[in-house]
Structure 1
Amino acid sequence: MKRRHLLASAAVVAGLAFPAMADDPTKAGFIYIGPVGDHGWTFTHDQAREALEEHFGDAVETSYVENVNYGPDAERIMTQMALSGTDIIFATSFGYGPDVNNVAARFPDVAFEHATGYIQEADNVSLYNARFYEGRAVIGHIAGKMTETNTIGYIASFPIPEVIMGINSAYLHAKAVNPDVEFRVVWVYSWYDPAQEAAAAEALIEQGADILMQHTDSTAPVTVAQDQGIFAFGQASDMTAFAPESHLTAILDVWDPYYIDRVQAVMDGTWEAGDIWHGIVDGMVGFAPMNDAIPEDIRAEAEEMIAAISAGEYHPFTGPINRQDGSAWLAEGETAPDGDLLTMDFYVEGMTGEVPN
């Protein structure tokens, strides 16, 4: 298996170049916002990269750089990848959008894939995302049924549409089964910062939360939950090992099939830019094993919701739903258009606090 780790840090990658190879494999490069050991978002992308290697063997060579900041660092690394003969580059964080498009415009023969992106200015930029809000509807239902204090804590990263829609989806489904439930949200303005995430978890517990959710990547929140004797949901991967008693389940990010499919398209010469948003039915959103602490009837209800979403029989954003200020958003039976979700910048009715600018 041919694999090259570009470098552990973006700060020292500038002079990198790949040697020419006589029998060139297809080269796939990955840039990550966090460390591969975060056990969250970046971890799942890197697990999928390894699955890519296993699937194709010596026909594919992968490389990655972790801890890549948005802006000049990202542009420099992707430029080096393209100059070094990389055939397809996966930029795996929302904030890389401008960087991806700037570099792609200079390298029209390289395929660029941007995870959770929305900017598609160059013809060789493809967008891909997962409908995580589907999974958050399920964990919201579980949390609403299981909370005893009626207070659920949510550790949020950045106030972008993906995070806001996740909060709203979880809240709506907790509220649907428990009218007394309240959500308390702490914004940490980081995707991965164990110390901040732990502090946020402790603050939420002090405010009465007996169940924690997170849209951040470290295992700190579930570890704090375990120490404090409350429940929590993991993020992106199965975090059960870090909090076996407290970890109820986690929404799983399953990137393997998509990466294999897109690299295969490059190998076949059939790759085209696209814009996909896959969910439970496509296998891009999954669930970690459910803890035995979840009562059997609640587990059955959660599984029924998963099946209904997968079958297209239920959409987590189905009206009537109002905005936080009481103004109408979705009428009875109306489902949210993708465009509304992908630009969501408001809380739904019943949520307290404000969405930060």
Structure 2
Amino acid sequence: MKFTTLLAGAMSLALTGAAFAQDDPVKVGFVYVGPIGDGGWTYQHDQGRLAVEEEFGDQVETVFQESVPEGADAERVITQMALGGADIIFTTSFGYMDPTNAVAAKFPDVKFEHATGYKREHPNVSTYDARFYEGRAVIGTIAGHMTETNKIGYIASFPIPEVIQGINSSFLHAQKVNPDVEMVVTWAYTWFDPAKEADAARAMIDQGVDVILQHTDSTAPQAAAQEANENGGRVFTFGQASDMAAFKPSPRIASIIDDWSPYYIKRVGELIDGTYEQTASWGGMPEGEVVIGEITAEVPAEVKAEAEAMIAAITDGSYHPFTGPITKQDGSVFLADGEVADDGALATMDFYVEGIEGDIPN
């Protein structure tokens, strides 16, 4: 799904040529890994699709297919979309990377946009991603302040650089405000499986975790925390990909929101006006793609102010979440004092930072 890779100099250009005729709607397709009602990742992509419809009206026609497994099914669905007349297809999960490129080779006149991947094997394939680690620095800061047991949990999906970035960013910033904090990482090996996610959350709570972060897409961890709180517990969570506002003001005390609308509107607009080019995009808070949702009153005012100051600093470029000194789990230096990680180092991140216990699975 959401593997973050943006190698320097990897952007190539391929102009589409003439703009679409005003009376010829652009057909825009979306392929989703989960249901549009997941309340998280897929829901947010579909909100982007709806934003395209609102922005361009009868200049566009959108189509989508939800709950498409990564692999052979994805290639079949993408092919059907291209055969159905789609002019541009957004494939919104990391595991769609190879199927997207395979179909793109057969349909050179169709534009393909792959979310969170890095392969652009054909001039009609672009990639796009978001700097989720920026948002995780903010919620890690809040988590470090909010834990009373000094145990925070992270429900991880797959051991790919994007997820590892999130784990490390969250822990580093929790540790900055609470040197005693520990992180429990549970690998769920799924992007969307409510039963698995709920089980992971409950197991963490049984281990004494009182703040849970997630890189999976359902609201099941929120529900598990809510259930624990109804039984006398004190567990906080953060919305993932979407606001998950139904669980405010607690257990959900803030959220990372992926706002794909600006990117989708930009790219479809460029296709309409004839300025579309092949790109590799990696936006974040400055571009409005990574947003922190409402920080609720459960969070003390001074902690909220600290989080808001970090949001402002990341947005204006004065702070980067991966700024040294940072040491790897094995004791070697990742970043010297004041050194900032470049995109290549982030895109290939395959280690835990010092202080996180356990191994990253292969």
- Alignment TM-score, normalising by the size of structure 2: 0.91
Q: Distance in 1 between matches of 2:276 and 2:316?
A: 29
Alpha-carbon distance, 1:243 to partner: 4.8
| 8 Å CA contact 2:248, 2:296 repeated in 1 | no
Find the counterpart in structure 1 of residue 47 from structure 2: 47
Q: What secondary structure, in the 3-state scheme, does the structure 2 residue paired with 1:120 have?
A: coil
| 8 Å CA contact 1:222, 1:243 repeated in 2 | no
Q: Distance in 2 between matches of 1:39 and 1:240?
A: 9
Alpha-carbon distance, 1:23 to partner: 5.1
Alpha-carbon distance, 1:349 to partner: 0.8
Match 1:284 to one of 277, 285, 289 = 289
Q: Which moved more, 1:240-249 or 1:141-150?
A: 240-249
Per-residue CA deviations over 1:190-229 (Å, capped at 9, x if unaligned) read 1011111000000000111010100001111111111212
Q: Distance in 2 between matches of 1:224 and 1:143?
A: 18
- Alignment TM-score, normalising by the size of structure 1: 0.92
Find the counterpart in structure 2 of residue 329 from structure 1: 334
Where structure 2 has 5 or more consecutive residues not aligned to the other structure, the ranges are: 1-21, 230-234
Q: How many residues align?
A: 336
Q: Distance in 1 between matches of 2:284 and 2:248?
A: 26
Alpha-carbon distance, 1:74 to partner: 1.1
Q: Distance in 2 between matches of 1:32 and 1:100?
A: 13
The percentage of counterpart residues that share the same residue type is: 62
| 8 Å CA contact 1:25, 1:61 repeated in 2 | yes
AA of the residue aligned to 1:355: I
AA of the residue aligned to 2:131: R
Find the counterpart in structure 1 of residue 73 from structure 2: 73
Q: Does 1:146 align with 2:146?
A: yes
Q: Distance in 1 between matches of 2:84 and 2:24?
A: 12
Find the counterpart in structure 2 of residue 184 from structure 1: 184
Quick one: higher RCO (CA 8 Å, sep 6+), 1 or 2? 2
Match 2:244 to one of 233, 239, 247 = 239
Q: Which runs of 4+ in 1 moved over 6 A?
A: none
Find the counterpart in structure 2 of residue 164 from structure 1: 164
Per-residue CA deviations over 1:322-343 (Å, capped at 9, x if unaligned) read 1110011111111111111111
Q: What secondary structure, in the 3-state scheme, does the structure 2 residue paired with 1:329 have?
A: strand
| 8 Å CA contact 1:79, 1:103 repeated in 2 | yes
Q: Distance in 1 between matches of 2:81 and 2:282?
A: 26
Q: RMSD value over aligned CA atoms? A: 1.1
Superposed, 1:303-322 pairs within 5 Å as 303-322=308-327
Find the counterpart in structure 2 of residue 300 from structure 1: 305
Alpha-carbon distance, 1:288 to partner: 1.2
AA of the residue aligned to 2:307: A
Find the counterpart in structure 2 of residue 32 from structure 1: 32
| 8 Å CA contact 1:223, 1:243 repeated in 2 | no
Q: Distance in 2 between matches of 1:116 and 1:176?
A: 29
Superposed, 1:203-218 pairs within 5 Å as 203-218=203-218
Per-residue CA deviations over 1:24-52 (Å, capped at 9, x if unaligned) read 31100000111111000000000110111
Alpha-carbon distance, 1:81 to partner: 1.4
Where structure 1 has 5 or more consecutive residues not aligned to the other structure, the ranges are: 1-21
